[in-house]
Amino acid sequence: MSKPHYDREHHVKKASGIGDPQCFKGEAPEAMFKVGDKVRIKDLPDLFYTRTQGYTRGAEATVTELVYESPPAEDESWDNTENVEWFYSVVFDMKELWPDYPDTFSSDTVETEIPEHYLEAC
Amino acid sequence: MLPPVRQKVMRHLNIVGQLQPALHEQTHAPSPDMIDNAHFRAYTRSAHDVGGEADISITWEEKEEEVWEHNTFVTCEVLAWRGVWNAEERRRRQNVEVGQTIYLGLPYYGRWLLTAAKILVDKQFITATELQEKVAEVRKRYE
Amino acid sequence: MSDDHDHEHEHIHPPAPMVDEVSEFEVLEIAVRELAIEKGLFTQEDHNQWTDYMHTLGPAPAARLVAKAWLDPEYKKLCVEDGVKASLDVNIDWVNTMPTKFGTPSDYCNLRVMEDTPTLKHVVVCTLCSCYPRPILGQSPEWYRTPNYRRRIVRWPRQVMAEFGLQLPEDVEIRVVDSNQKSRMIVLPVRPEGTEGWTEDQLAEIVTRDCLIGVAVPKPGVTNNAKRPVRKAVNPYKH
């Protein structure tokens, strides 16, 4: 088996003076969702690596911001940065996530960021 | 500083809080028919994905940093600066691929350190033999 | 730049007989660093430069950002709309301050400032690891990294916040912000009563690291994080 060659400069070349995720700006296809949309988190198979938390799967949320474009962490983790997508900040009601959350504090919420391919309209 | 009896009481409470019955399920590579999908999901779970799991109330602590912890953090960031890996590769390896036992068994920065050593071997920048010989040589310096 | 200056609290010492002379951790750390340098992956100078950069970090810039936002509604709007741009006003350049010139590898370049209101209180966690806005806030505290905090805050926030000494009324929405991707968050707390006519310096002084994470709220006269035990290191790093 021969040794692979690693291009250790590709990220510094792309992002120097620009920043990350700024360096991926403009590379994603048109965003599928907009602020205010109700979305559901898809329970895609959690094989090997994910940054879409288990506790969000199958739950409904509201999009509050289109935060940036970036390769999803699941791809970036293997240095596959060709497929860039929009990331969304979404807000869940605590009651939606945790059935036993006390009614007294029913306005409490969780906000987190999810890449587009984990979202579906609802 | 608590009086001696109160220290004993607090220590006792901390220890008995850890006494729990355990239903041992022996597992030595079961056959497929013995593993349902829920167990498949549990065993293949990403160890880092802990949000929403139950846990006890603990004393929140600050901590002094060890010399080796500081150096480990710097090494990991500099390896990324110089393109050996990116932070996401590091997180996958350090927070998931170390496995459930190491995840909860070793210190936080212990995983950073093991992962930094592993990336050098995995990407063939060093051989495992070189690493083992270097570790032995460094240890000798302290004998 | 340590932010746990308050040492009038319990120190937890490692049990001396159980600790070996030189730990496997220390040995492996040296081995990895020396091998990486021998193989030309980075230089000792690189390592020193990053250490020097880490020495510049602490919660002061984030505290100043909050103080400025309290004094200037236009700046507060900028903080909420563009945290990276707002950081420049407190001399933090998320892209260029650090040696990489592309941000820090672990903290990226997307600061989000979460604005509290009288009916909305934010608290930050990274349930998956311990992502933290280091360039503007310094190193994360030990408790923030624990599986315990990461497990519980996102499901039982009021209980956990009460353990930190913070209880909020029913009509306040608690929003737990789970920084699981490339954004890094600080909390912009509500300016407390009793600070009328204060200078920027006076205001910044009461915005502690714990306030910026969201487990505390700023109070006149309180300029330190709450007292809690400090676990001593076997071989502590000194700045």
- Shortest CA gap A91–chain C (Å): 9
Residue C198 located in a structural domain: yes
Query: CA B52 to CA C151: how far, in whole Å?
Result: 5
Residue C174 located in a structural domain: yes
CATH number for the domain spanning C206: value is 3.90.330.10
Q: Which domain holds residue C64?
A: 59-213
Query: Does residue C8 register a pLDDT over 70?
Result: no
- Shortest CA gap B116–chain A (Å): 15
Q: How confident is the model at residue C4 (pLDDT cuts 50, 70, 90)?
A: very low
What whole-number percentage of chain C has pLDDT above 70? 92
**CB contact, 8 Å: C154 with chain B?**
yes
Interface test with B, best of A51, A84, A110 (most B CBs within 10 A): A51
Residue C218 located in a structural domain: no
Residues C72, C174 within the same domain: yes
- Shortest CA gap B5–chain A (Å): 38
Burial of residue B90 (CB within 10 Å: 0-12, 13-18, 19+) is: buried
Residues C46, C64 within the same domain: no
Residue C234 located in a structural domain: no
Residues C85, C183 within the same domain: yes
Out of B56-60, C20-24, C178-182, C184-188, least confident range: C20-24
- CB contact at 8 A, C232 and C12: yes
Residues C40, C71 within the same domain: no
* Touching chains, A (3+ CB pairs < 8 A): B, C
Residue C33 located in a structural domain: yes
- CB contact at 8 A, C59 and C212: yes
Query: CA C188 to CA C171: how far, in whole Å?
Result: 19
Q: Which fold has domain A18-121?
A: SH3 type barrels. (2.30.30)
Residues C137, C175 within the same domain: yes
Task: Parse chain A into domains and list their residue ranges.
Answer: 18-121
Catalytic residue among B43, B103, B108, B142: B108
Which residues of C fall within a CB distance of 8 Å from A111? 175-178
DSSP conformation letters of B79-114? HHHTTS--HHHHHHIIIIITHHHHHHHS-HHHHHHH
Residues C153, C198 within the same domain: yes
Average confidence score pLDDT of chain A:
97
Residues C29, C43 within the same domain: yes
> Across residues B2-15, what is the average pLDDT?
83
Residues C141, C47 within the same domain: no
Residues C155, C97 within the same domain: yes
- Shortest CA gap B85–chain A (Å): 8
Residues C34, C106 within the same domain: no
Strand-strand pairing, C183-188 and C110-115: parallel
> Across residues C21-39, what is the average pLDDT?
97
**CB contact, 8 Å: A66 with chain C?**
no
Which residues of C fall within a CB distance of 8 Å from A55? 127, 154-155
Record: contact B86-C150, CB cut-off 8 A: no
Query: CA C11 to CA C228: how far, in whole Å?
Result: 9
Query: Does residue B6 register a pLDDT over 90?
Result: no
Record: contact A98-B52, CB cut-off 8 A: yes
Angle at C167 between CA C211 and CA C8, to 5 degrees: 55
For B5, the 3-state DSSP assignment is helix
* Touching chains, C (3+ CB pairs < 8 A): A, B
Residues C176, C71 within the same domain: yes
Interface test with C, best of A96, A98, A111 (most C CBs within 10 A): A111
The number of domains in chain C is 2
- CB contact at 8 A, C138 and C210: no
Record: contact B49-A98, CB cut-off 8 A: no
Q: Which pLDDT does position B5 carry in this prediction?
A: 85
Record: contact B50-C150, CB cut-off 8 A: yes
Record: contact B117-C32, CB cut-off 8 A: yes
Q: Which pLDDT does position C230 carry in this prediction?
A: 97
Q: Which pLDDT does position C13 carry in this prediction?
A: 59
- Shortest CA gap C60–chain A (Å): 23
Record: contact C179-A113, CB cut-off 8 A: yes
**The pTM is what?**
0.93
> Across residues A70-96, what is the average pLDDT?
98
Q: How confident is the model at residue C41 (pLDDT cuts 50, 70, 90)?
A: very high
> Across residues B1-17, what is the average pLDDT?
82
Report the catalytic residues of C: 126, 129-131
A and B: number of Cβ contacts within 8 A: 55
Residue C18 located in a structural domain: no
Better pLDDT: C212 or C14: C212
Nearest-CB residue to B46 (from A11, A50, A97): A50
**CB contact, 8 Å: B38 with chain A?**
no
Query: CA A10 to CA A24: how far, in whole Å?
Result: 13
Shortest CA distance from C168: residue in chain A: A105
Residues C66, C118 within the same domain: yes
Burial of residue A12 (CB within 10 Å: 0-12, 13-18, 19+) is: middle
**Domains present along chain B, CATH in parentheses:** 67-141 (1.10.472.20)
Interface of C with B in 111-150 (CB under 8 A): 125, 127-130, 139, 141-143, 145-150
Q: Choose among C191, C109, C120: nearest CA to A91.
A: C120
End-to-end CA distance of chain C: 7
Better pLDDT: A88 or B43: A88
